[in-house]
Structure 1
Amino acid sequence: MPTYTALTTLPGKASAEALGEALETLIPEPTGVGVFEIEDDSGLWEVGGYFTEAPDEAGLALLAMVHGAKDFTVSELPETDWVAHVKRELSPVVAGRFFVYGSHDADKVPGDKIPLLIEAAMAFGTGHHGTTQGCLRAIDRLATEGLNPVAVADIGCGTAVLAMAAARVWDITPVAGDIDPVAVEVADANLAANGMAGRVTCVEATGFGHPAIAAAAPYDLILANILKAPLIDLAPDVSGHLSRGGYAILSGLLNEQAEEVLRAYEQCGLKQAHCERIGDWTTLTLQKSL
């Protein structure tokens, strides 16, 4: 079945959300609508619709004009078995002591690495993205330097690959939270697939807003692989939930965004301990003042 996308940009959150709502009423109806801020400080928002039938381009043009958006760009996506495609394209990843792989590469697990099984269908957090690799390397580095945390939190955990890595390195039960209930289900499934059921406490939460996350504080290590804006918003909470001398590993940042995030955390009493760039992405390791 063919899939079509219709994408446009316009300034302002309110205008973008209004266009997104209007797009949902288009006939034929889109199967999904997304409204996202473009993380380049331009003030622009992207609005996109996904269709299983060719969208009404005249209707799209009218919506764009009414809401002050650029003309929609309509594209037909090729029919692809994406899971099979990802399995072919995603080779195992070595990040420090960790070996992240899919079940189709189970015969390649080396004996001297800590294996983390993340299926290719779980697109975000498979370990192949520079942000996830950076976080895994940072965990490996802190462990090598002798960090022995008692409490670890993974905020915005996705597949929970980072929390699982921490649980495999240290004899602890990290707390992992994600705003998306599907992500929490995926995290629990990944724990079971790795023979780690119960080794990480997975909860649905926005930031630190869950009793299980609050109860385990203060943390010696906080992991947050999300995006620039929520990382900046979370700076006071990360500092407030972190023990003195504790570490925060932050990623999901384009290289040019790292300095702004670092400044926000410095204002909350954290300092840079390490910075690593992998391609276009930066991972920051910060330490709270003693």
Structure 2
Amino acid sequence: MSGAARPARGDEGLRVIADATDVADVEAVLATLRGHAGSPHVICLACGALHCLVSSLRQKMKMTASMMVIHHRQMIADAVKLLVAVLQEHQEHEHVQNCGREALETLMVDDRKAFIALVNDEGHTLTRGGNVGAIEAVVAFVAQPACHTYGELENLHVQEEAISLLLVLINSSLEHTAQAKQAGAVEAVLMAMRARSESLTVQSKGCRILSLLASRSSETNTQIGYSGVAVELIVDAMRGHAGNLEFQGLACNTLFVLTKENRQAATRAGNAGAVEAVAAAVRAHAGSAGLQEAACQALVRL
């Protein structure tokens, strides 16, 4: 089959799905999906076809999902938008939800770099209503420091990109904040900070995320403070990145947010050596008025 994709109907639509074999056929399947968006049966067939087609196409052309995004960005973006619309229209249809999510995962989630690129470019579409699981996927990437398809440096880069993107998503709306919290953002960030103590990006973005989540929800603030892990990791990061003025100020501010209404967190921070770490920052960066102010605020709570 060749030529421009066109909406297919009835048996012809099913034949298009069955016979599709190349990029034009992916577009034909998308056209079929558009033409039968009200039919759960055809939707599931189309999603199954997309799953097989894209996997086969990558193997045939020796393309990763990242390369697919680079070479076929519009096609992938169109597919994502269409699947989002279908998932929203059929929210109560479990089979459609399962098929749609599987197709989305084939398009992007199996390659983290491609997925992050798409969320950056199509963030509003991908995260609208929380139906696709984009935020959940980003949270998962933050929590999982290793992917067998990447080397160590690539894994670190992807995790830094993921935590940076999570911060942008959380900062963009209260809805995204709630979705991220529900998806386990607190736990994911703490896992990343523990695993990537050497990464200033992970530590900085992690502090900002924890501060945002805690300041927007007293329940989350209590959750973060109750375990004490967050403040201990922040103190460790202050020691590990003692020479970075910006991070020291950020860490002091985060300690202040996490401890100002949570005595247990303050106690855990004190036991972890927060007072000593903040005092060391004051001495090391005596010329910074901003750091001195942030440190004083933190010390009052400790």
TM-score of the alignment, normalized to the shorter chain, above 0.5: no
Higher strand share: 1
TM range (shorter): under 0.3
Instruction: Give the TM-score, by structure 1 length.
Output: 0.23
Instruction: Give the TM-score, by structure 2 length.
Output: 0.22
Structure label with greater radius of gyration = 2
Higher relative contact order (CA 8 A, sep 6+): 1
Higher helix share: 2
